[in-house]
Protein backbone atom coordinates (compact mmCIF):
# COMPACT_ATOMS: atom_id res chain seq x y z
CA UNK A 1 0.00 0.00 0.00
CA UNK A 2 0.98 3.63 -0.39
CA UNK A 3 3.45 4.79 2.26
CA UNK A 4 2.81 8.54 2.07
CA UNK A 5 0.08 11.03 1.26
CA UNK A 6 2.55 13.02 -0.88
CA UNK A 7 1.50 13.35 -4.53
CA UNK A 8 4.39 12.57 -6.90
CA UNK A 9 2.55 12.57 -10.25
CA UNK A 10 -0.35 14.86 -11.16
CA UNK A 11 -2.32 15.15 -14.41
CA UNK A 12 -4.48 18.30 -14.62
CA UNK A 13 -7.02 18.50 -17.49
CA UNK A 14 -4.45 16.94 -19.83
CA UNK A 15 -5.23 16.68 -23.55
CA UNK A 16 -3.03 14.72 -25.92
CA UNK A 17 -3.34 13.84 -29.59
CA UNK A 18 -1.08 13.07 -32.54
CA UNK A 19 -3.95 14.00 -34.85
CA UNK A 20 -6.77 16.40 -33.92
CA UNK A 21 -9.27 13.95 -35.44
CA UNK A 22 -8.00 11.10 -33.23
CA UNK A 23 -7.63 12.40 -29.63
CA UNK A 24 -6.01 10.00 -27.19
CA UNK A 25 -6.54 11.85 -23.87
CA UNK A 26 -9.30 14.38 -23.23
CA UNK A 27 -9.18 16.51 -20.05
CA UNK A 28 -7.58 13.73 -18.02
CA UNK A 29 -7.16 14.24 -14.25
CA UNK A 30 -5.50 11.90 -11.77
CA UNK A 31 -2.90 11.84 -8.97
CA UNK A 32 -0.39 9.18 -7.97
CA UNK A 33 0.86 9.17 -4.39
CA UNK A 34 4.34 8.29 -3.22
CA UNK A 35 4.95 4.59 -2.69
CA UNK A 36 1.75 3.44 -4.42
CA UNK A 37 1.69 0.58 -6.92
CA UNK A 38 -0.67 1.43 -9.77
CA UNK A 39 -1.93 -0.62 -12.71
CA UNK A 40 -2.77 1.22 -15.94
CA UNK A 41 -5.71 -0.64 -17.45
CA UNK A 42 -7.66 -0.16 -20.67
CA UNK A 43 -8.46 -1.42 -24.13
CA UNK A 44 -5.76 -1.92 -26.75
CA UNK A 45 -4.88 1.49 -28.15
CA UNK A 46 -6.43 3.45 -25.27
CA UNK A 47 -3.20 5.36 -24.61
CA UNK A 48 -1.52 3.44 -21.79
CA UNK A 49 1.99 3.79 -23.23
CA UNK A 50 1.24 7.45 -23.99
CA UNK A 51 0.66 8.01 -20.25
CA UNK A 52 4.15 6.64 -19.58
CA UNK A 53 5.74 8.92 -22.16
CA UNK A 54 3.98 11.95 -20.68
CA UNK A 55 5.29 11.03 -17.23
CA UNK A 56 8.92 10.48 -18.27
CA UNK A 57 8.95 13.53 -20.56
CA UNK A 58 9.25 11.71 -23.89
CA UNK A 59 6.00 13.49 -24.88
CA UNK A 60 4.46 16.81 -23.88
CA UNK A 61 0.71 17.36 -23.44
CA UNK A 62 -1.12 19.43 -26.05
CA UNK A 63 -3.03 21.24 -23.30
CA UNK A 64 -2.47 21.94 -19.59
CA UNK A 65 0.05 20.13 -17.48
CA UNK A 66 1.67 16.94 -16.27
CA UNK A 67 3.53 17.52 -13.01
CA UNK A 68 6.14 15.15 -11.58
CA UNK A 69 7.77 16.02 -8.27
CA UNK A 70 11.14 17.65 -8.83
CA UNK A 71 14.37 15.74 -8.23
CA UNK A 72 12.62 12.38 -8.45
CA UNK A 73 14.29 9.83 -10.70
CA UNK A 74 12.25 7.91 -13.29
CA UNK A 75 13.14 4.66 -15.06
CA UNK A 76 11.07 3.02 -17.79
CA UNK A 77 11.15 -0.63 -18.79
CA UNK A 78 10.34 -0.67 -22.51
CA UNK A 79 10.27 -3.60 -24.93
CA UNK A 80 12.69 -2.49 -27.69
CA UNK A 81 16.42 -1.78 -27.41
CA UNK A 82 17.55 1.58 -28.81
CA UNK A 83 19.64 1.23 -32.01
CA UNK A 84 22.61 3.01 -30.39
CA UNK A 85 22.60 0.51 -27.49
CA UNK A 86 22.79 -2.67 -29.57
CA UNK A 87 26.61 -2.64 -29.93
CA UNK A 88 27.19 -2.13 -26.20
CA UNK A 89 28.38 -4.99 -24.03
CA UNK A 90 26.13 -6.06 -21.16
CA UNK A 91 28.45 -4.31 -18.70
CA UNK A 92 28.52 -1.08 -20.71
CA UNK A 93 24.74 -1.24 -21.20
CA UNK A 94 24.15 -1.31 -17.45
CA UNK A 95 26.91 1.26 -16.89
CA UNK A 96 25.00 3.63 -19.20
CA UNK A 97 21.71 3.30 -17.36
CA UNK A 98 22.96 2.79 -13.81
CA UNK A 99 26.32 4.50 -13.55
CA UNK A 100 28.55 3.64 -10.62
CA UNK A 101 32.30 3.98 -10.18
CA UNK A 102 33.30 0.70 -8.57
CA UNK A 103 33.48 -2.14 -11.05
CA UNK A 104 33.01 -4.79 -8.37
CA UNK A 105 29.84 -3.25 -6.95
CA UNK A 106 28.30 -2.69 -10.39
CA UNK A 107 29.00 -6.26 -11.49
CA UNK A 108 27.50 -7.57 -8.26
CA UNK A 109 24.37 -5.46 -8.81
CA UNK A 110 24.11 -6.67 -12.42
CA UNK A 111 24.29 -10.28 -11.22
CA UNK A 112 21.59 -9.67 -8.61
CA UNK A 113 19.21 -7.87 -10.98
CA UNK A 114 19.64 -10.47 -13.73
CA UNK A 115 18.55 -13.05 -11.16
CA UNK A 116 15.32 -11.07 -10.70
CA UNK A 117 14.50 -11.35 -14.43
CA UNK A 118 15.81 -14.95 -14.56
CA UNK A 119 18.50 -14.37 -17.19
CA UNK A 120 22.13 -15.40 -17.53
CA UNK A 121 24.12 -12.86 -19.55
CA UNK A 122 27.94 -12.74 -19.93
CA UNK A 123 29.11 -9.20 -19.15
CA UNK A 124 31.26 -8.97 -22.30
CA UNK A 125 28.54 -10.11 -24.73
CA UNK A 126 27.03 -7.49 -27.07
CA UNK A 127 23.34 -6.65 -26.65
CA UNK A 128 22.63 -7.32 -30.35
CA UNK A 129 23.87 -10.91 -29.91
CA UNK A 130 20.97 -11.73 -27.60
CA UNK A 131 17.61 -12.96 -28.88
CA UNK A 132 14.51 -10.76 -28.78
CA UNK A 133 13.18 -12.16 -25.50
CA UNK A 134 16.63 -11.86 -23.90
CA UNK A 135 16.90 -8.21 -24.98
CA UNK A 136 13.47 -7.56 -23.46
CA UNK A 137 14.68 -8.97 -20.13
CA UNK A 138 17.84 -6.86 -20.28
CA UNK A 139 15.66 -3.78 -20.79
CA UNK A 140 13.58 -4.71 -17.76
CA UNK A 141 16.72 -5.31 -15.71
CA UNK A 142 18.19 -1.95 -16.83
CA UNK A 143 15.10 -0.20 -15.42
CA UNK A 144 15.12 -2.17 -12.17
CA UNK A 145 18.84 -1.67 -11.47
CA UNK A 146 18.41 2.12 -11.39
CA UNK A 147 16.30 1.82 -8.21
CA UNK A 148 14.29 4.89 -9.34
CA UNK A 149 11.82 6.91 -7.29
CA UNK A 150 9.23 6.18 -10.00
CA UNK A 151 9.40 2.88 -11.90
CA UNK A 152 7.36 2.52 -15.12
CA UNK A 153 6.99 -1.03 -16.47
CA UNK A 154 5.40 -1.75 -19.85
CA UNK A 155 4.21 -5.38 -20.14
CA UNK A 156 7.09 -6.68 -17.95
CA UNK A 157 5.91 -10.32 -17.87
CA UNK A 158 5.69 -10.80 -21.64
CA UNK A 159 9.10 -12.41 -21.92
CA UNK A 160 9.32 -14.04 -18.51
CA UNK A 161 8.71 -17.69 -17.71
CA UNK A 162 6.85 -18.66 -14.52
CA UNK A 163 10.01 -18.53 -12.41
CA UNK A 164 10.88 -15.11 -13.83
CA UNK A 165 7.39 -13.80 -13.06
CA UNK A 166 7.70 -15.09 -9.49
CA UNK A 167 11.03 -13.31 -8.96
CA UNK A 168 9.70 -10.06 -10.45
CA UNK A 169 6.54 -10.23 -8.34
CA UNK A 170 8.53 -10.68 -5.13
CA UNK A 171 10.80 -7.79 -6.14
CA UNK A 172 7.83 -5.45 -6.71
CA UNK A 173 6.14 -6.47 -3.47
CA UNK A 174 9.22 -5.43 -1.50
CA UNK A 175 9.96 -2.32 -3.61
CA UNK A 176 9.25 0.74 -1.48
CA UNK A 177 9.12 3.36 -4.25
CA UNK A 178 6.30 4.26 -6.67
CA UNK A 179 5.48 1.77 -9.43
CA UNK A 180 3.16 2.08 -12.44
CA UNK A 181 2.62 -1.06 -14.52
CA UNK A 182 0.95 -1.78 -17.86
CA UNK A 183 0.11 -5.47 -18.09
CA UNK A 184 -2.62 -7.88 -19.15
CA UNK A 185 -1.53 -10.55 -16.64
CA UNK A 186 -4.36 -10.41 -14.10
CA UNK A 187 -2.80 -12.71 -11.47
CA UNK A 188 0.53 -10.87 -11.62
CA UNK A 189 -1.20 -7.50 -11.20
CA UNK A 190 -3.41 -8.66 -8.37
CA UNK A 191 -0.39 -9.74 -6.33
CA UNK A 192 0.85 -6.19 -5.68
CA UNK A 193 -1.57 -3.55 -7.10
CA UNK A 194 -3.26 -1.09 -4.72
CA UNK A 195 -4.91 1.10 -7.35
CA UNK A 196 -5.91 1.24 -11.01
CA UNK A 197 -6.05 3.98 -13.65
CA UNK A 198 -8.70 2.94 -16.17
CA UNK A 199 -8.36 4.48 -19.65
CA UNK A 200 -11.37 4.42 -21.96
CA UNK A 201 -10.43 4.35 -25.63
CA UNK A 202 -13.83 5.72 -26.68
CA UNK A 203 -14.25 8.64 -24.27
CA UNK A 204 -10.49 9.36 -23.90
CA UNK A 205 -11.07 9.76 -20.15
CA UNK A 206 -9.27 8.23 -17.15
CA UNK A 207 -10.97 6.99 -13.99
CA UNK A 208 -9.03 6.25 -10.82
CA UNK A 209 -9.90 3.32 -8.54
CA UNK A 210 -8.50 2.14 -5.21
CA UNK A 211 -8.04 -1.54 -4.39
CA UNK A 212 -6.34 -4.61 -5.78
CA UNK A 213 -6.75 -5.51 -9.43
CA UNK A 214 -9.59 -8.03 -9.05
CA UNK A 215 -11.51 -5.64 -6.77
CA UNK A 216 -11.20 -2.84 -9.31
CA UNK A 217 -12.35 -5.05 -12.20
CA UNK A 218 -15.49 -5.77 -10.15
CA UNK A 219 -15.92 -2.05 -9.35
CA UNK A 220 -15.67 -1.18 -13.05
CA UNK A 221 -18.25 -3.84 -13.89
CA UNK A 222 -20.70 -2.56 -11.25
CA UNK A 223 -20.25 1.06 -12.37
CA UNK A 224 -20.95 0.12 -15.99
CA UNK A 225 -24.15 -1.69 -14.93
CA UNK A 226 -25.24 1.28 -12.77
CA UNK A 227 -24.57 3.78 -15.58
CA UNK A 228 -26.44 1.60 -18.08
CA UNK A 229 -29.49 1.40 -15.79
CA UNK A 230 -29.50 5.17 -15.17
CA UNK A 231 -29.14 5.87 -18.89
CA UNK A 232 -31.98 3.49 -19.73
CA UNK A 233 -34.28 5.24 -17.21
CA UNK A 234 -33.39 8.73 -18.48
CA UNK A 235 -33.80 7.63 -22.09
CA UNK A 236 -37.26 6.21 -21.34
CA UNK A 237 -38.39 9.36 -19.48
CA UNK A 238 -37.00 11.66 -22.19
CA UNK A 239 -38.82 9.72 -24.92
CA UNK A 240 -42.08 9.89 -22.94
CA UNK A 241 -41.80 13.70 -22.73
CA UNK A 242 -40.97 13.92 -26.45
CA UNK A 243 -44.04 11.83 -27.32
CA UNK A 244 -46.27 13.97 -25.10
CA UNK A 245 -44.78 17.16 -26.52
CA UNK A 246 -45.56 15.97 -30.06
CA UNK A 247 -49.18 15.39 -29.09
CA UNK A 248 -49.52 18.86 -27.52
CA UNK A 249 -47.76 20.56 -30.42
CA UNK A 250 -50.54 19.47 -32.80
CA UNK A 251 -53.38 20.58 -30.55
CA UNK A 252 -54.69 23.98 -29.50
CA UNK A 253 -52.07 26.75 -29.92
CA UNK A 254 -51.95 27.53 -26.15
CA UNK A 255 -50.46 24.05 -25.55
CA UNK A 256 -47.53 24.70 -27.90
CA UNK A 257 -45.67 26.52 -25.12
CA UNK A 258 -46.14 23.47 -22.90
CA UNK A 259 -44.84 21.24 -25.71
CA UNK A 260 -41.74 23.42 -26.04
CA UNK A 261 -40.99 23.12 -22.32
CA UNK A 262 -41.42 19.34 -22.48
CA UNK A 263 -38.92 19.12 -25.33
CA UNK A 264 -36.47 21.23 -23.34
CA UNK A 265 -36.93 18.93 -20.32
CA UNK A 266 -36.32 15.89 -22.54
CA UNK A 267 -33.11 17.47 -23.86
CA UNK A 268 -31.92 18.11 -20.28
CA UNK A 269 -32.53 14.46 -19.40
CA UNK A 270 -30.49 13.34 -22.40
CA UNK A 271 -27.68 15.68 -21.31
CA UNK A 272 -27.67 13.99 -17.90
CA UNK A 273 -26.94 10.61 -19.45
CA UNK A 274 -23.47 9.37 -18.50
CA UNK A 275 -20.92 8.90 -21.27
CA UNK A 276 -21.40 5.18 -21.57
CA UNK A 277 -18.10 3.35 -21.36
CA UNK A 278 -18.02 0.60 -23.92
CA UNK A 279 -16.94 -2.24 -21.71
CA UNK A 280 -13.59 -3.81 -22.50
CA UNK A 281 -15.22 -6.54 -24.57
CA UNK A 282 -13.45 -9.44 -26.26
CA UNK A 283 -13.04 -9.59 -30.01
CA UNK A 284 -15.68 -11.51 -31.93
CA UNK A 285 -15.40 -15.25 -32.49
CA UNK A 286 -13.50 -15.97 -35.68
CA UNK A 287 -12.36 -18.85 -37.86
CA UNK A 288 -9.16 -19.07 -39.90
CA UNK A 289 -10.13 -20.36 -43.37
CA UNK A 290 -8.02 -23.12 -44.90
CA UNK A 291 -5.79 -23.12 -47.94
CA UNK A 292 -7.35 -25.26 -50.65
CA UNK A 293 -5.73 -27.85 -52.91
CA UNK A 294 -3.09 -29.21 -50.53
CA UNK A 295 -2.77 -32.39 -48.49
CA UNK A 296 -0.46 -35.15 -47.30
CA UNK A 297 2.70 -34.18 -45.42
CA UNK A 298 2.82 -30.39 -45.09
CA UNK A 299 6.16 -30.18 -43.26
CA UNK A 300 9.00 -32.63 -42.61
CA UNK A 301 11.61 -32.03 -39.90
CA UNK A 302 14.71 -34.25 -39.72
CA UNK A 303 17.06 -32.01 -37.74
CA UNK A 304 17.13 -28.60 -36.10
CA UNK A 305 19.80 -26.18 -34.90
CA UNK A 306 19.72 -25.40 -31.19
CA UNK A 307 21.81 -23.22 -28.88
CA UNK A 308 23.37 -24.96 -25.91
CA UNK A 309 25.99 -23.34 -23.66
CA UNK A 310 26.22 -20.50 -26.20
CA UNK A 311 27.17 -23.00 -28.92
CA UNK A 312 25.05 -23.89 -31.97
CA UNK A 313 24.57 -27.64 -32.36
CA UNK A 314 22.44 -29.87 -34.61
CA UNK A 315 19.74 -31.97 -32.94
CA UNK A 316 18.29 -34.90 -34.93
CA UNK A 317 14.49 -35.18 -34.76
CA UNK A 318 11.78 -36.86 -36.81
CA UNK A 319 8.56 -34.89 -37.15
CA UNK A 320 5.90 -34.84 -39.85
CA UNK A 321 3.14 -32.26 -39.85
CA UNK A 322 0.01 -33.35 -41.72
CA UNK A 323 -3.54 -32.11 -42.08
CA UNK A 324 -5.08 -31.31 -38.68
CA UNK A 325 -1.77 -31.78 -36.83
CA UNK A 326 -1.06 -29.32 -34.03
CA UNK A 327 2.53 -29.28 -32.73
CA UNK A 328 3.73 -27.56 -29.57
CA UNK A 329 7.38 -26.52 -29.76
CA UNK A 330 8.92 -26.28 -26.29
CA UNK A 331 12.27 -25.82 -24.62
CA UNK A 332 14.05 -23.43 -22.27
CA UNK A 333 14.43 -19.77 -23.16
CA UNK A 334 17.47 -19.15 -25.35
CA UNK A 335 17.58 -22.59 -26.96
CA UNK A 336 16.51 -21.20 -30.35
CA UNK A 337 12.74 -21.71 -30.71
CA UNK A 338 12.04 -18.33 -32.33
CA UNK A 339 15.09 -18.68 -34.60
CA UNK A 340 13.89 -22.11 -35.74
CA UNK A 341 10.41 -20.82 -36.56
CA UNK A 342 11.85 -17.94 -38.58
CA UNK A 343 14.13 -20.30 -40.50
CA UNK A 344 11.23 -22.62 -41.33
CA UNK A 345 9.23 -19.67 -42.65
CA UNK A 346 12.17 -18.43 -44.75
CA UNK A 347 13.21 -21.92 -45.92
CA UNK A 348 16.65 -21.57 -44.28
CA UNK A 349 16.62 -24.59 -41.93
CA UNK A 350 18.36 -27.43 -43.82
CA UNK A 351 16.68 -30.21 -41.87
CA UNK A 352 13.16 -28.83 -42.45
CA UNK A 353 11.19 -29.02 -45.69
CA UNK A 354 7.82 -27.38 -46.33
CA UNK A 355 5.73 -29.06 -49.04
CA UNK A 356 5.47 -27.23 -52.34
CA UNK A 357 2.66 -24.67 -52.65
CA UNK A 358 1.90 -24.68 -48.93
CA UNK A 359 1.24 -21.16 -47.67
CA UNK A 360 2.52 -20.27 -44.17
CA UNK A 361 0.71 -17.87 -41.88
CA UNK A 362 3.38 -16.52 -39.52
CA UNK A 363 2.60 -14.69 -36.28
CA UNK A 364 5.90 -13.21 -35.16
CA UNK A 365 6.06 -11.94 -31.57
CA UNK A 366 7.82 -8.67 -32.46
CA UNK A 367 5.61 -8.06 -35.57
CA UNK A 368 8.73 -7.35 -37.65
CA UNK A 369 7.21 -9.31 -40.56
CA UNK A 370 4.67 -6.48 -40.88
CA UNK A 371 5.51 -3.29 -42.78
CA UNK A 372 5.30 -0.55 -40.13
CA UNK A 373 5.04 2.17 -42.82
CA UNK A 374 2.03 0.50 -44.42
CA UNK A 375 -1.50 1.47 -43.44
CA UNK A 376 -3.57 -1.18 -41.70
CA UNK A 377 -6.01 -1.16 -44.61
CA UNK A 378 -3.26 -1.79 -47.18
CA UNK A 379 -1.79 -4.58 -45.04
CA UNK A 380 -5.14 -6.38 -44.81
CA UNK A 381 -6.11 -5.74 -48.44
CA UNK A 382 -2.76 -7.19 -49.55
CA UNK A 383 -3.44 -10.38 -47.57
CA UNK A 384 -7.08 -10.74 -48.68
CA UNK A 385 -8.19 -12.65 -51.76
CA UNK A 386 -9.06 -10.65 -54.86
CA UNK A 387 -12.71 -11.65 -54.69
CA UNK A 388 -13.18 -10.33 -51.14
CA UNK A 389 -15.51 -7.34 -51.18
CA UNK A 390 -14.83 -4.10 -49.36
CA UNK A 391 -17.74 -4.80 -47.03
CA UNK A 392 -16.43 -8.29 -46.17
CA UNK A 393 -12.94 -6.93 -45.47
CA UNK A 394 -14.16 -4.15 -43.18
CA UNK A 395 -16.69 -6.37 -41.43
CA UNK A 396 -14.03 -8.98 -40.62
CA UNK A 397 -11.63 -6.27 -39.43
CA UNK A 398 -14.33 -4.77 -37.19
CA UNK A 399 -14.61 -8.15 -35.45
CA UNK A 400 -11.00 -7.62 -34.34
CA UNK A 401 -11.88 -4.09 -33.12
CA UNK A 402 -10.11 -2.61 -36.14
CA UNK A 403 -12.33 0.39 -36.88
CA UNK A 404 -12.23 3.04 -39.58
CA UNK A 405 -9.70 5.29 -37.85
CA UNK A 406 -7.37 2.37 -37.17
CA UNK A 407 -7.69 1.25 -40.81
CA UNK A 408 -6.21 4.58 -41.92
CA UNK A 409 -3.33 4.48 -39.43
CA UNK A 410 0.18 3.26 -40.20
CA UNK A 411 0.98 -0.02 -38.44
CA UNK A 412 3.99 1.52 -36.71
CA UNK A 413 1.74 4.02 -34.89
CA UNK A 414 -0.44 1.32 -33.30
CA UNK A 415 -0.07 -0.03 -29.79
CA UNK A 416 1.48 -3.49 -29.48
CA UNK A 417 -1.93 -4.94 -28.63
CA UNK A 418 -3.46 -3.42 -31.76
CA UNK A 419 -0.61 -4.79 -33.88
CA UNK A 420 -1.41 -8.22 -32.48
CA UNK A 421 -5.06 -7.95 -33.50
CA UNK A 422 -4.03 -6.79 -37.01
CA UNK A 423 -1.69 -9.80 -37.23
CA UNK A 424 -4.52 -12.21 -36.34
CA UNK A 425 -6.93 -10.54 -38.78
CA UNK A 426 -4.25 -10.87 -41.47
CA UNK A 427 -4.00 -14.62 -40.78
CA UNK A 428 -7.75 -14.92 -41.43
CA UNK A 429 -7.31 -13.25 -44.82
CA UNK A 430 -4.23 -15.31 -45.76
CA UNK A 431 -6.00 -18.72 -45.67
CA UNK A 432 -2.79 -20.58 -44.65
CA UNK A 433 -1.92 -24.25 -44.94
CA UNK A 434 0.39 -24.03 -41.92
CA UNK A 435 0.10 -21.66 -38.97
CA UNK A 436 3.34 -20.78 -37.18
CA UNK A 437 2.72 -18.84 -33.98
CA UNK A 438 5.48 -17.41 -31.77
CA UNK A 439 4.18 -16.26 -28.36
CA UNK A 440 0.84 -15.04 -29.76
CA UNK A 441 -0.50 -13.90 -26.35
CA UNK A 442 2.18 -11.25 -25.78
CA UNK A 443 0.56 -7.79 -25.61
CA UNK A 444 -2.95 -9.23 -26.18
CA UNK A 445 -5.74 -8.17 -23.81
CA UNK A 446 -6.58 -11.14 -21.58
CA UNK A 447 -10.25 -10.88 -22.59
CA UNK A 448 -9.33 -11.74 -26.20
CA UNK A 449 -7.22 -14.81 -25.37
CA UNK A 450 -10.06 -17.39 -25.00
CA UNK A 451 -11.46 -16.30 -28.39
CA UNK A 452 -8.05 -16.70 -30.03
CA UNK A 453 -7.49 -20.08 -28.34
CA UNK A 454 -10.85 -21.31 -29.64
CA UNK A 455 -9.99 -20.30 -33.22
CA UNK A 456 -6.60 -22.03 -33.06
CA UNK A 457 -8.12 -25.15 -31.50
CA UNK A 458 -10.53 -25.40 -34.45
CA UNK A 459 -7.85 -24.86 -37.16
CA UNK A 460 -7.86 -27.94 -39.39
CA UNK A 461 -4.48 -27.72 -41.15
CA UNK A 462 -0.97 -27.82 -39.68
CA UNK A 463 0.06 -25.63 -36.75
CA UNK A 464 3.25 -25.02 -34.76
CA UNK A 465 2.83 -23.10 -31.51
CA UNK A 466 5.36 -21.62 -29.11
CA UNK A 467 3.84 -20.19 -25.92
CA UNK A 468 4.96 -19.85 -22.32
CA UNK A 469 1.36 -19.33 -21.12
CA UNK A 470 0.14 -22.75 -20.00
CA UNK A 471 -3.47 -21.61 -19.48
CA UNK A 472 -3.56 -20.59 -23.15
CA UNK A 473 -1.97 -23.80 -24.46
CA UNK A 474 -4.36 -25.96 -22.43
CA UNK A 475 -7.29 -24.51 -24.39
CA UNK A 476 -5.85 -25.71 -27.72
CA UNK A 477 -5.74 -29.29 -28.98
CA UNK A 478 -2.13 -30.47 -29.31
CA UNK A 479 -1.30 -33.66 -31.22
CA UNK A 480 2.49 -33.57 -31.12
CA UNK A 481 5.11 -32.21 -28.74
CA UNK A 482 8.70 -31.36 -29.64
CA UNK A 483 10.98 -30.35 -26.77
CA UNK A 484 14.22 -28.85 -28.03
Return the closest-CA partner of residue 430 out of 340, 370, 372, 473.
370
Q: Is 283 part of a structural domain of the chain?
A: no
Calpha distance 25→45 (Å, rounded): 11
What pLDDT is attached to residue 100?
A: 57
Calpha distance 364→200 (Å, rounded): 28
444-450 long-range Cβ contacts below 8 angstroms, 24+ apart: 444/44, 444/184, 444/417, 444/420, 445/43, 445/44, 445/184, 445/280, 445/282, 445/417, 446/184, 446/185, 446/186, 447/280, 447/281, 447/282, 448/282, 448/283, 448/421, 450/282, 450/475
Q: Strand order of the sheet with strand 7-19?
A: 22-33, 7-19, 63-68
What pLDDT is attached to residue 247?
A: 63
Domains contained in the chain, number: 3
The mean pLDDT of the chain is 84
* 195-199 and 206-210 beta bridge pairing: antiparallel
Q: What confidence tens digit (pLDDT) does each residue in 167-214 have? A: 888 888 888 899 999 887 778 888 888 888 888 777 888 888 888 777
Average of per-residue pLDDT across 69-92: 86
Calpha distance 168→166 (Å, rounded): 5
DSSP 220: H
What pLDDT is attached to residue 2?
A: 46
**Is residue 117 domain-shared with residue 242, that is, in the same domain?**
no
Domain of 26 in residue numbering reads as 7-217
Least confident of 4-8, 34-38, 359-363: 4-8
User: With pLDDT > 90 as the criterion, what percentage of the chain qualifies?
Assistant: 32
Q: Is the pLDDT of residue 461 over 50?
A: yes
User: 149 or 267, which is more confident?
Assistant: 149
What pLDDT is attached to residue 268?
A: 66
**Is residue 247 domain-shared with residue 207, that is, in the same domain?**
no
**Is residue 359 domain-shared with residue 398, that is, in the same domain?**
yes
Q: What confidence tens digit (pLDDT) does each residue in 232-280 have? A: 776 777 677 677 766 666 665 556 666 666 666 666 655 655 555 555 6
Q: Is 378 part of a structural domain of the chain?
A: yes
Q: Is the pLDDT of residue 111 over 80?
A: yes
Q: Is the pLDDT of residue 428 over 90?
A: yes
The predicted model scores a pTM of 0.69
Hey, which of 42-51, 234-243, 333-342 has the most confident mean pLDDT?
333-342
Q: Report the CATH number that the domain containing residue 472 is assigned in CATH.
A: 3.40.50.300
Q: What confidence tens digit (pLDDT) does each residue in 296-326 have? A: 899 999 988 888 777 888 889 999 999 889 9
What pLDDT is attached to residue 57?
A: 87
**Is residue 407 domain-shared with residue 433, that is, in the same domain?**
yes
Amino acid sequence: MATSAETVISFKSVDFYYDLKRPILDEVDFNVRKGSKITIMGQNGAGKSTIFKLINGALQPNLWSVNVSQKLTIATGYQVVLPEDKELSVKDFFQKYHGGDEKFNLEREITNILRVVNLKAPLNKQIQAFSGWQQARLLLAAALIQNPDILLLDEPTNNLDSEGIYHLTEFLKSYSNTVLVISHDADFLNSFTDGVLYLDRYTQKVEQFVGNYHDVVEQVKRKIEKDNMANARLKKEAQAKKDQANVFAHKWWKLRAVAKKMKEAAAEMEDEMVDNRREDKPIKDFKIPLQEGIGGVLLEVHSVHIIKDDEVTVKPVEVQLRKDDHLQLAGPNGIGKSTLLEKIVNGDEEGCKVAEWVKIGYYRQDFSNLDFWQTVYDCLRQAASEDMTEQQLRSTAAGFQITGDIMKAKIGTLSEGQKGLVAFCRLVFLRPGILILDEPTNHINFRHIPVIASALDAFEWGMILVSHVDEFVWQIRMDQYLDL
